[in-house]
Amino acid sequence: MPKYTFPFFFLLWLIPISLSADPKDHCVVVLSMDGFRWDYPAIYHTPNLHRLAKAGCRAESLKPAYPTKTFPNHYAIATGLYPDHNGIVQNSFYDPKLDRVFRMGDRKAVQDSIFWEGEAIWETAEKQGVKVASYFWVGTESNERYRPEMRKYYEDSFPIRQQIDTVFKWLMLPSDQRPGLVMFYFDQPDKTSHDFGPVSQEVEEVVERLDQLVGALTKGLKKIEKLKKMEIDLIILSDHGMGYIPEGQQVFLEDIIDLKRIKRYNGGSPVISLEPDPAYLDEVYGKLKSAPHLKVWKRDELPARYHYGSHQRIPQLIVEADSLYGLETRRKENFHYGLGTHGYDPANRDMHGIFYAAGPSFKKGFVQPAFENVNIYELLAKLLKIKPAKTDGSLNLVKGMLKGN
């Protein structure tokens, strides 16, 4: 678990300061805290998030796209497209046309723009003359022509305070060099929630440390606004929530079907997609259909609310464990499966994340009804005053948070 020390935003005083910025210069800062469940601020002590809600807006919850996994949802936020339309259909998948596998830990695949479909907000912004900076945001590492002008590639367990210091340095750049959009990402509390479950002392500790970091971030941004005579809209959100799995409640596919007759399987607990041998399709479907604690669909049978199943990268069968259950292909000796996971039906409230926003563009003390994360792209485009690409979202569903609406 990373260690955090305070204070660290004193570094602002060490940065050369120019007071020549144009009045009302504007920037949008977006922070994602992976796996920060919608109700963590009610369960744990998060005074800085509560202050942010009073100073601006908060959503009752942020509804993720299916499957409720990290890569599909960060890219859904960035593009305004469901995973079925943005191409990142799972954290790992196989593309039959390319005959290639994508895995989030495969640097070569992650950096190849052929896997990333749709138009991300950084592409829209850079094409229209708005500089973008990214620190670990999913999708920004690819070799797209219009990629963030400033970007940092993901490093596991990287010090969070160093990320924030770099964001401050970006915002302290002269006006003609400074990004108009900054997007950055923390890999907590997801990691800790997976190991110990969403309601645990360990998660309490990391959530409260993150809230302290939010406090330091907001104080530093206010100082920058004053020094640089600029305005900053801050958005803090998460990609998904986290569900609890009691110890020992795992379903193993090897107990139900013949894995030797499965050509490939993608994803991970609690959602695994299967491509059976054609002659085995109906048999494996029937066996999974009758198995306890599982749901299975052929790709054209998925619930309409999932917005999922048409992309070529989605295999023939999608298997999802029931709430409170995990799903694995095989048993692993001496392996700790963890007490938390995500990936379930977006209608499962435990899968919902957070959304907070404050700054000159947002109302104060406003509570936004729960909304889908595919609407965020349009909101960012509005804040940046750029023309959005076509998306699955709608500004109309979230514009109530903005002043003048």
Give pLDDT tens digits for 226-268: 999 999 999 999 999 999 999 999 999 999 999 999 999 999 9
Give pLDDT tens digits for 131-158: 999 999 999 999 999 999 999 999 998 9
* 1 belongs to a structural domain: no
* 342 belongs to a structural domain: no
- Given the DSSP bridges, would you call strands 57-59 and 294-298 parallel, antiparallel or unpaired? unpaired
Same domain, 236 and 332: no
Strand ranges inside 227-325, DSSP E: 230-237, 243-244, 250-252, 262-268, 271-276, 294-298, 317-321
Same domain, 51 and 165: yes
Q: What is the CATH number of the domain that holds 315?
A: 3.30.1360.180
Give the model's confidence band at 77: pLDDT under 50 very low, under 70 low, under 90 confident, else very high: very high
Nearest C-alpha neighbor of 101 from the set 265, 307, 297: 265
Q: What is the pLDDT of residue 1?
A: 42
Same domain, 36 and 175: yes
Q: Does 20 have pLDDT greater than 70?
A: no
pTM of the model: 0.93
| Final residue in a domain of this structure, among 337, 361, 381 | 337
Same domain, 100 and 178: yes
* 3 belongs to a structural domain: no
Same domain, 150 and 256: no
Which helix H or strand E contains 327, and what residues bound it?
strand 326-328
Same domain, 95 and 198: yes
Strand ranges inside 144-215, DSSP E: 150-152, 181-186
Q: What's the rounded Cα separation, in Å, for the pair 119 and 382?
A: 16
Q: What is the pLDDT of residue 157?
A: 85
Q: What is the pLDDT of residue 318?
A: 98
Work out the average pLDDT over 312-341: 95
| Final residue in a domain of this structure, among 337, 357, 375 | 337
Same domain, 234 and 319: no
**pLDDT over 90 percentage in the chain:** 92
Same domain, 254 and 240: no
| Final residue in a domain of this structure, among 302, 317, 337 | 337
265: helix, coil or strand? strand
Q: Does 15 have pLDDT greater than 60?
A: no
Q: What is the pLDDT of residue 231?
A: 98
Q: Does 86 have pLDDT greater than 80?
A: yes
Residue 28 phi/psi, 5° resolution? -115, 130
Same domain, 189 and 206: yes
Same domain, 133 and 274: no
**pLDDT over 70 percentage in the chain:** 94
Domains in the chain: how many in total?
A: 2
**Amino acid identity, residue 361?**
S
Q: What's the rounded Cα separation, in Å, for the pair 64 and 372?
A: 6
**Which residues form the domain of 322?**
250-337
Same domain, 131 and 259: no
* 4 belongs to a structural domain: no
* 170 belongs to a structural domain: yes
Q: In what order do the strands lie in the sheet with 230-237?
A: 150-152, 132-135, 181-186, 25-33, 230-237, 355-358, 57-59, 366-368
Give pLDDT tens digits for 178-202: 999 999 999 999 999 999 999 999 9
Q: What is the CATH number of the domain that holds 121?
A: 3.40.720.10
Same domain, 203 and 331: no
User: Is 68 marked active-site?
Assistant: no
Q: What's the rounded Cα separation, in Å, for the pair 354 and 335?
A: 31
Identified catalytic residue from 46, 70, 192, 391? 70
